[in-house]
Structures are given as structure tokens and as C-alpha cells.
Amino acid sequence: MSIVQRLLETRRLERQAPHDDVVIEQMRKRDLREVLAIENQVYPKPWTPGVFQSEIDEMRSGYRNYVVARSGGRLIGYAGLLYSGDDAHVTNIAVDPTVHRRQLATRLLIHQARFAIRQGFRNLTLEVRASNRAGQELYRRFGFVPAGIRKNYYEGVEDAIVMWCHDIDGEGYSERLRGLEAGIAR
């Protein structure tokens, strides 16, 4: 078996790995190399190491929460939140393209939503590219609804859809999160 064939087989097996091997933990400075590798693959205009370092520093101040997802010790995704008043704003969610379709973005957003609830926030908000239909669908499953458009938000050429999810501190929202988790277990 050639090196390329082994690599392809390894990636195929990783995609088939069980869901319960995913661990979500706080992002640390030592994670930045792997985070940046994913960032550079999934975003046309990726954040710089300095931006991520600043966000990690803000976590220490209590104004942000960034987490990473690992499988088999390998960093495969991350997500961030920033706080303002009663709102927690999803700054980013990214998953290594080699492990798409394992519901990692769902897992990361469940984790961040629960974190926001524990911290006493009432609402979640985010921006999503107008062209990112998969992302919009994911956010709708979490109860986000479009609330506006930011013209030319991304690289000055693509609009962002502003989405809000209100009243995350209620029992109805906790039930929604339990339903999303049950969908992962299947």
C-alpha cells in the first residue's frame, strides 16, 4: 500500500470513528498551531496567530470562551464565544475538513450554548455567510432566526446574515439541546 493509499485509508477510518471518542476542552496557547491549520483550510481570510492569542488572553479576563474538540488526541475543531450584556456571540466554529459529517459543529455549538447558559446569558447571536447554507441550517436547528443583513461583511464582497437565538435560559431551550444531543447519539 502506498503512502497516499495509507493516508486515504486513515482518513476514511477517522471519518467512521465512533462519536463518543470526541473530547471538548478549553483552548490553550499550545493548541494554536493545530487551530491555525484548520483556520487556514476553512476560511478564505483566516484569523492570524495574534488574533487567536488575543482571544485566549480575553478568556483569562472572562470575556471569551474558546474550546477545541479532539479525537484520538488530534485537534479536529474549535469554537469561540464572546460576551456582551445578556448576549453570547458565536465568533467562529470550524471543523477539520477531513472529519466533516461527524456532527462536530453540532457538538461544539451544544457545548458553547450550555456554557453560555451556565454563565447566565439569555441570548446567542452570530453572523454567517449568505452563501453558507449548511451553516444556516445548523443554526436554525439550534433555534437561531435571521434578524438582519450586514452588507459586504466578509472581505468586503459577501453579505453576512445576522442570526439570533433568544431565551436560551428557559426550559424549552434546554429541551432543544437535549434533542440535538440525542440526534448525535444515533
For residues 18 and 68, the model is more confident at 68
Instruction: Give me the number of domains the chain comprises.
Output: 1
Asked if residue 60 is part of any domain, the answer here is yes
What values do phi and psi take at 147, rounded to 5? -125, -5
Give the other-Cβ count within 10 Å of 75's Cβ. Answer: 19
Q: Answer yes or no: is pLDDT of 186 > 60.
A: yes
- Chain mean pLDDT for the chain: 89
Give me the domain span that covers residue 174: 18-185
**pTM, whole model, 2 decimals?**
0.87
Residue 25 a catalytic site member: no
- Asked if pLDDT for residue 12 goes beyond 80, the answer is no
Q: Out of 127, 155, 173, 181, which one is annotated catalytic?
A: 127
DSSP code of 167? -
**Residue 74 within any structural domain of the chain:** yes
Q: How far apart are CA 87 and CA 125, in angstroms?
A: 7
d(CA 171, CA 173): 5
| Count of CB atoms situated within 10 Å of the CB of 123 | 17
Q: 49 pLDDT exceeds 80?
A: yes
Residue-wise pLDDT for 84-109, tens only, equals: 999 999 999 999 999 988 899 999 99
CA-CA-CA-CA torsion sign (57, 51, 74, 79): positive
CATH of the domain at 129: 3.40.630.30
* Residue 127 among the catalytic residues: yes
Whether residue 11 has pLDDT greater than 60: no
pLDDT of 20: 65
- At 21 the pLDDT is 87
Q: Which of 139, 154, 173, 181 is catalytic?
A: 139
Mean pLDDT score, 137-142: 97
Side-chain-side CA neighbours of residue 183 (13 Å): 16
